[in-house]
Every structure is written in C-alpha cells, then in structure tokens.
Amino acid sequence: GGALWGYGVRRSPVGLWGQEELCGAAVGLTGSALLQLVYPHDFRLTEKEKTSICYLSFPDSYSGDSMRRGYFQKSLVLVSRLPYVNLFQCLLQLIAPEYFDKLEPCLDGVCNEIDQWPPPVPGQTLNLPVMGVVIQSPPVTNSLFSLLTQNLLPAPLVLPSVHELDLFRCFQPVLIHVQLLWELMLLGEPLVMVLALTSCLAPLRYCCDFRPYFTIHDSEFKEFTTRTQAPPSIIVGVTNPFFIKTLQHWPHILRVGELRMAGELPKQVKVKKPAKLKTLDTKPGIYTSYKTFLHKDKTLIKRLLKGMQRKRPSEVQSALLRRHLLELTQSFIIPLEHYMASLMPLQRAITPWKNPPQIRPFCQEDFMKSLEHAGPQLTCVLKGDWLGLYRRFFKSPNFDGWFRQRHREMTQKLEALHLEAICEADIVAWMKDKSEVEIVDLVLKLREKLVSPSLPCTVSLYIDTIIGSLPEDLQAVLHHP
C-alpha cells in the first residue's frame, strides 16, 4: 500500500507560490508505483506526468507490521517550476511525517498557509510560516551566513539560500578537478552527472539541456543511449548503475560513490580514460579524455582542504567555492561583454526620422585580438590557453544563448533611444514640408513600435498630433475604430 499525492495551491495567476504541486509515490504489492491520492482533488495530471512522478520518486522502505509485505514504501515529492531546491527540501521534511501520520486532513492546513506566503522580493528576508515553524532565508544581498536577531517563536529554520545547493558537499570528492568540470560546463559538453554542476557557471546562464533525474523510463531514453549519433549537449543525472554500460560511449562521465575519507580529508576521485568504463562495478572517477585549457588553482584547493581540517562549516566552504567559480566565470565573460558593448552604435548616430542604425556584427578574430590588452589576465591569475578556451566556447550552445540574449537587449536599447529621439524632436516643424505619403509612413512606423504597454504615452500623443495634420479622410482611416 501507500499513496502518491499531489498538491496545488489555488492562488490568483500572479501568485508566485501558486504553481507548486506536492506529490508522493508509493510501491504497491506488485512492486509497481501507484497513484492513490491527488490533492486538491480537481488537480489534473496527464498519464505521462503520473508515470514520470512515480518512477522518479525512489521511495525508501519502512517496516510496517500492518502491511502484507511487512514494510511500506512511500515518497513525498514536490513538483515546481521554481528552482528553490533548499526551500522545498526543508518544506518536505516538515510536511512528510505529518502526512504519513494523519494523511489527507493535514493537507488543508498546509495548503492554506502556503497560500498566504508573500512573493519573494530581491534583497528582503523570506519569512514563510508553515506547520508552526517559520522558514527563514536571509536576503541574497546580505552576508550568506548572517542570522537575523528578530524574535520569532519558535526559532526559525534559517536557510542560507532558497535555491543554491551545498556546492562544497556536492564537490568534495572532486575538489581537485573543479577546473575541469567548470570547463566542461562552459563548453556545453555532454556529461553524465548531477544538478550542482549547472550552478557553477553563474552569472553565465547554462543554455544546454539538463535532466537531474533521468531514468530508463524517460521518453528520450533511446535517443540519449543510441550510438549512431553523437550525444547532445546535455547533462543527465542518474542513479541506476545500468547507465554505466548504456552510456559508456558518452565523452564525459563522472561517477561518484559514498564519500570516503583519507584521514581528515575526502578521498579525491581520479581522472580516467573512458575505455576503462566497462563494467557495472566501475569505481568512482571522472571518465574523460578531455584536456583542460587552464591550469588548476592549487591555492583554492589547499584553502578548502585546510578548511576541512579546521572543521570550517560547509556553508562557508560552499561560499568560498562559489565565489571562486563566480570570479572565474566573470573573468571569462567580462572581455566578451566589453567587446559586445563596442558593437553598439554611438548615440549621436541615432536620428528621429530614420531607422535606428544596426548593431555591428560579432567578429571572432577581432575579439581575439582585443584579448591582448583587455583579456581575462587582467582579473584572473590562472594561466593557460585562454584563446583556445574562447575558440571552443564559440562553438557551444552557451555562447549562442549568451550572444542572442545580449543582442536582444542591445536591440531593445537602440529602440528605446530611437523613441526618445523621436519624442524630443520638433514634430510640427518636421511635417511642414513633408508629403502625405511620408507622414502616413511615419504614423505606421510609430505604431509598429507601440508593442509594449510600458512605452511612454508621449509616443501616442505624437501620433495623434501627426494624424491631426492630415486631411479628414486620411484621419478617419488612421484612427483606431
């Protein structure tokens, strides 16, 4: 027996907490996962969603004399579009024991409490009451470890972050290979691993696909395991040892086991050739032929290992590691940002009565030349083949995603500057020697720009002024019905 249950908070469409569903999974007498309860009862899941939740839940076994099998297997799963891993894990730890004890009656209260949660605001502390406890997370802009002196009873559960994983705990067995893993992420290389990797590129957005919980029941299992084509740019996280053999043709595989200690320090896995990845009992390690472009930061590794010897809190270790990766990514991205900004037309080239000038094309060779005097060496002490790393980066989905986003932002900036120039121009003086065709053409072009409700109403007033200068028959055509 057991239950798989879903929970959805019914808020207004703008409520940020209104799109979460809690689900649980159970294994029945036949060994198959079951869906026995959905809450609220009008919440609908497709058959594919039901199957996915069941197979992804991985329920643990608990002794139970009342069960025919002598034990029961249940899981409580929260499904959300928000990446607040720490917050949701804490929430599940509070709700699960109460649910398994009292079942559905406890869900109404939890639903009502979460329904009242305020939306998260950048720079402000989150105080989220649920089941007699306040879950609290300091603002991101403050120190990661600062605890509030606010007198809340009972004492709040303080989370360092609602979304960031304990990066140091995740990377303990591979600390000496962090540089290698960062490069694989930067270049969008296919990799079998876990969720923590995608966060090590911040503030650069990871633009490839990633599946933290991939199983043999996934609809794309055949596509990812085929050997007739190269693996896509994707990270998959797996726990089934069957994948060691099935995905051994992938270029990069990181296998982690239980953390093993060598005295006071975590035993580090080794980098091995993919050819050694053949059996189901393959030892933990990084199986790849990839050669890093940059050298290791031995100072960082020594600092983290010494922190372990001194019993430094994991949160502090994670902050040090995350800051190192952040600064490394920034050193890599800043030259790209500077070069991209140089492609923006000068503001004096923007005139009100002509289309805004075009952004100059991104020339990879020109960028590479700029690195001689404005490269990452200005902000990063790491040595290595930075030019080779950039050339490889240009071929990755992460560069494509970054470039498209920046180009879109610059285009929007140009449009805003063009509108500003139009609004500041003397429209009446311009119309004096213009034909009706030119005036109508201007009206149509201005209306094309009015696609966002946030644009100043000044543009609409300009359009009305322009239309008012035309004959009445044309005014009737151009005015909205």
Rounded to whole angstroms, the Cα distance separating 408 from 208 reads 19
Do 274 and 396 lie in one domain? The reply is: yes
Do 208 and 91 lie in one domain? The reply is: no
Q: Is residue 209 part of a domain?
A: yes
Rounded to whole angstroms, the Cα distance separating 361 from 187 reads 22
Q: Which amino acid belongs to residue 474?
A: L
Do 77 and 204 lie in one domain? The reply is: no
Do 405 and 468 lie in one domain? The reply is: no
Q: What is the pLDDT of residue 396?
A: 95
Do 256 and 402 lie in one domain? The reply is: yes
Q: Which two tokens stand for residue 95?
A: 């709700």
Give the residue-averaged pLDDT of 284-289: 88
Q: Is residue 1 part of a domain?
A: no
Q: Which two tokens stand for residue 415?
A: 């449009």
Do 178 and 284 lie in one domain? The reply is: yes
Q: Which amino acid belongs to residue 232?
A: P
Do 59 and 178 lie in one domain? The reply is: no
* Count of domains observed in the chain: 3
Q: Is residue 418 part of a domain?
A: no
Q: Is residue 26 part of a domain?
A: yes
Give the residue-averaged pLDDT of 226-238: 87
Rounded to whole angstroms, the Cα distance separating 436 from 25 reads 70
C-alpha distances (whole Å) from 102 to each of 35, 105, 139, 291 are: 18, 6, 35, 55
Rounded to whole angstroms, the Cα distance separating 2 from 32 reads 11
Phi, psi of 447 (to 5 degrees): -65, -30
Do 291 and 175 lie in one domain? The reply is: yes
Which helix (H) or strand (E) element contains residue 130? Answer: strand 126-130
Range of the domain at 461: 426-478
Report residue 72's pLDDT band, with 50, 70 and 90 as the boundaries.
low
Give the residue-averaged pLDDT of 79-106: 80
CB atoms within 10 A of CB 64: 15
Do 245 and 357 lie in one domain? The reply is: yes
pLDDT tens digits, 11-69: 333 345 654 555 555 544 444 567 767 766 777 888 888 887 777 776 555 665 656 65
Question: Is pLDDT larger for residue 359 or for residue 200?
Answer: 359
Do 432 and 328 lie in one domain? The reply is: no
Q: Is residue 248 part of a domain?
A: yes
What is the DSSP annotation of 389-420? Answer: HHHHHTTSHHHHHHHHHHHHHHHHHHHHHHHH
Do 112 and 203 lie in one domain? The reply is: no
Q: Is residue 44 part of a domain?
A: yes
Do 224 and 335 lie in one domain? The reply is: yes
CATH value at residue 70: 3.30.450
